[in-house]
Amino acid sequence: MKTPVHGVLLAAGAGRRLGLGPKALLAGADGVPLVRKAAEVLRHGGCASVAVVLGAGAAEVHVAADLAGCSVLVNEQWSEGMAGSLRLGVQSALPDQAVLIALVDQPGISPELVARLIDAAQPGRIIAAGYRSPEGKLRRGHPVLFAPSLAARAAEQATGDAGARPFLSAHPELVELVDCSDLSDGGDIDTPADLGRLR
């Protein structure tokens, strides 16, 4: 039997580079906020539970987005970077749950992609979505699925806005890349030029 997976959606940032308020509230033509869509993707992809970590504009996001069925956590120190949100999210998992970390500003992530990562889970391993560069090299991206004990270690070592990156870089032998290039390019929304990804 597979280890149950706790999805953690990091949605605390203010979206300063984009300049349109919290990215969690960005919406496509259907008007549905990114944070709600992303939470549904995690649930439909096979996560047994989902925690959404809010920060900037948390009250506004909570009112504007229907997050029923999710645990909503607020990182009061969101301005200090992603590390605090990662720790909050990981702490909300049960001890026996694997933890899948996803970012709110990746609208190309689908339930099929989440399910692919969950299906690839292995004891004591980290399963990361991989996306091919134009040169054909497979690069690590998000979401990232951590075996239960590894999620806590990654969260403990997280600092600033780097999130789990220091832990992943320090332990490449624990990481399995799963090619998801046929499902998404793994792109996120950082600048106005990226807003086309919302369509």
> What element of type H or E holds 112?
helix 111-119
- In sequence order, what are the beta bridge partners of 100? 7, 145
pLDDT tens per residue, range 43-74: 999 999 999 999 988 889 988 888 989 999 99
- In sequence order, what are the beta bridge partners of 139? 131
Residue 143's nearest CA partner among 168, 171, 172, 173 is: 168
pLDDT tens per residue, range 84-96: 999 999 999 998 9
- C-alpha–C-alpha distance, residues 94 and 40, integer Å: 20
Total domains present in the chain: 1
Q: Which tokens belong to 192?
A: 């106005």
The structure tokens 């969690």 sit at 24
pLDDT tens per residue, range 126-160: 999 999 988 889 999 999 999 998 999 999 988 88
Q: What is the DSSP letter of 3?
A: P
Domain carrying residue 160: 5-198
Instruction: Please report, for the domain that includes residue 26, its CATH number.
Output: 3.90.550.10
Angle between helices 82-91 and 148-157 (to 10 degrees): 150
- C-alpha–C-alpha distance, residues 50 and 89, integer Å: 9
pTM: 0.94
